[in-house]
Amino acid sequence: MKIKVLLISIFLLTLLGIFGGKLGLSVIPESWGGGFFSSPIAHIAIKAEPVHPEPITQLSIATDSSNKLLKGVTDVFITNTMIATWLAILILIVFAWLVNKNKNPIPNRVQGLAEIVIEFFITLIGGIVGANKVKQFLPLVMTIFLFIVIANWMGILPGYGTIGWIETPEIIKHHMSHDSHDSDSHADDHHDDYSEYDHIKLAKFTKSGPIYAQPFGSEKENEKITLSCGLNPECPKEDGVQAGRLSPYLRSANTDVNTTLAIAIVAMIMIHWWGLRTLGTFGHIGKFINFKEGPAGFVVGLIEAISELARLISFTFRLFGNIFAGEVLLIVVAFLLPLTGILVFLFLEVFVGVVQAFIFSILTLVFAATATTAHGADEH
């Protein structure tokens, strides 16, 4: 009986989402109330968004504010992916503390979960590179996996991408002029001409108490606001309504190419460090600069060196592309089919988050095993 009620409820919510979402406008005319749940599709940006309109302009320790190192970290923005990265690291630290807080011969749930993960990676690494190299590779491989999977899963939590501050039309225009390479000192001479911004649509936020929220039905044609209207002081303004663009406080860390690049750089540095320690300087570098085997050996070494750069690029964009595409997919599905349409894709993102973390960590392990094996070792 409970299952039937659940299925009927899901079916009714799905129908409500179809008629109330953007798809409903093709079935029920807007004048009849079609698309009453629809709202402008969320702003999608590849670049991580700042969590404050102004950058850090001053940073000092004690009374020393003239330090060159401190000046070098000013005029930078704290981005939402930075905060998500710090939160993922904090969760891992708390988890490690809870595991080590009360270690018992009979493990509790937290300790048992940690032992399952560690045992899985010990068995996996031992099966690929041998039991004698488990201690060498385990810390990095498992850390990469845990960080990526936690960061990916946190990205689908409520609040990610939906709670933030509103970029006003003036801030958006400033960012556009700042990012434009062809802007010059004469850009402000025509500050009263806003026609060039007619194609840029802004969301409409309605004030409700101390916060602004995006109301249902604001996707309708008569509710749309352009950037040119937002900038023009002569354009009619509604009381309690703010036109702008949502800049979220939290965004999945791995949707920022800088985060995935940083992980890839750490992985590749450690891979080559292990290669240098295991084979020696000349043994490891000899894989890439090889004059002993003639022109053919030199070309093969050059190809090996290029492949190392390709691995770094592949590491970076495989993870970034999959996670960023997943976030875009969730936004589009929520736009087209609200309520229940997004549920299936949320479960898919949970699965994809684990798969991408596993692929990244296993490739790190395989490349490390290759880097610590001398050429010709299989022949002997």
Name every residue whose Cβ is closer than 8 Å to that of residue 364 and which is 6 or more positions away in sequence: 140, 141, 144, 267, 271
pLDDT over 80 (residue 75):
no
Asked if residue 64 and residue 46 are part of one domain, the reply reads yes
Asked if residue 379 and residue 315 are part of one domain, the reply reads yes
The percent of residues above 70 in pLDDT, for the chain, comes to 81
Mean pLDDT computed over every residue of the chain: 82
Assign 189 a pLDDT band (cuts: 50, 70, 90).
very low
Assign 81 a pLDDT band (cuts: 50, 70, 90).
very high
Asked if residue 154 and residue 93 are part of one domain, the reply reads yes
Does 330 map to a domain?
yes
Asked if residue 176 and residue 112 are part of one domain, the reply reads no
Phi, psi of 224 (to 5 degrees): -75, 145
pLDDT over 50 (residue 379):
no
Asked if residue 57 and residue 11 are part of one domain, the reply reads no
Asked if residue 210 and residue 301 are part of one domain, the reply reads no
- Residue for token pair 């949502």: 246
Does 234 map to a domain?
yes
Does 11 map to a domain?
yes
Q: What pLDDT, on the 0 to 100 scale, is given for residue 358?
A: 95
pLDDT over 60 (residue 67):
no
Does 65 map to a domain?
yes
Assign 241 a pLDDT band (cuts: 50, 70, 90).
confident
Assign 265 a pLDDT band (cuts: 50, 70, 90).
very high
Closest CA to 324 of 374, 262, 258: 258
Asked if residue 272 and residue 172 are part of one domain, the reply reads no
pLDDT tens-digit series, residues 316-375: 999 999 999 998 888 888 777 777 778 888 899 999 999 999 999 999 999 999 888 876
Q: What pLDDT, on the 0 to 100 scale, is given for residue 170?
A: 87
Domain ends where: 248, 263, 288?
248
Across the range 177-203, mean pLDDT stands at 62
**Residue 66 or 145, more confident:** 145
Identify which of 96-105, 149-158, 186-195 has the greatest average pLDDT. Answer: 149-158
pLDDT over 50 (residue 376):
yes
Q: How far is CA 285 from CA 279, 296, 349, 372, 375, in A?
A: 9, 17, 40, 12, 11
Task: Supply the DSSP string of 184-200, one letter for each residue.
Answer: -TTGGGGTT--GGGTT-
Does 270 map to a domain?
yes
Q: Is 45 helix (H, G, I), strand (E, B) or coil?
A: coil
Q: What pLDDT, on the 0 to 100 scale, is given for residue 217?
A: 59
Asked if residue 341 and residue 268 are part of one domain, the reply reads yes
Asked if residue 267 and residue 339 are part of one domain, the reply reads yes
pLDDT over 90 (residue 261):
yes
pLDDT over 70 (residue 34):
no
Assign 74 a pLDDT band (cuts: 50, 70, 90).
low
Assign 378 a pLDDT band (cuts: 50, 70, 90).
very low
pLDDT over 70 (residue 205):
yes
The percent of residues above 90 in pLDDT, for the chain, comes to 32
* Cβ burial, residue 31 (10 Å; 0-12/13-18/19+): exposed
8 Å CB contact between 247 and 165? yes
Domain count, the chain: 3
- Residue for token pair 């492949």: 307
Q: What pLDDT, on the 0 to 100 scale, is given for residue 220?
A: 56
Asked if residue 360 and residue 281 are part of one domain, the reply reads yes
Assign 184 a pLDDT band (cuts: 50, 70, 90).
very low
Tokens of 85: 């990265």
Assign 158 a pLDDT band (cuts: 50, 70, 90).
confident
Of the ranges 123-132, 137-146, 240-249, 337-346, which one carries the lowest mean pLDDT score? 337-346
8 Å CB contact between 171 and 272? no
Phi, psi of 208 (to 5 degrees): -130, 95
Assign 63 a pLDDT band (cuts: 50, 70, 90).
very low
**Residue 93 or 210, more confident:** 93
Task: Supply the DSSP string of 109-139, one letter for each residue.
Answer: HHHHHHHHHHHHHHHHHHHHH-GGGHHHHHH
Element (H, E) at 328: helix 294-336
Q: What is the domain range of residue 157?
A: 89-163+251-380
**Residue 178 or 280, more confident:** 280
Asked if residue 136 and residue 259 are part of one domain, the reply reads yes
Does 84 map to a domain?
no
**Residue 76 or 36, more confident:** 76
Does 83 map to a domain?
no
Does 186 map to a domain?
no
Asked if residue 333 and residue 272 are part of one domain, the reply reads yes
Q: What pLDDT, on the 0 to 100 scale, is given for residue 222?
A: 54
- Residue for token pair 């990610």: 160
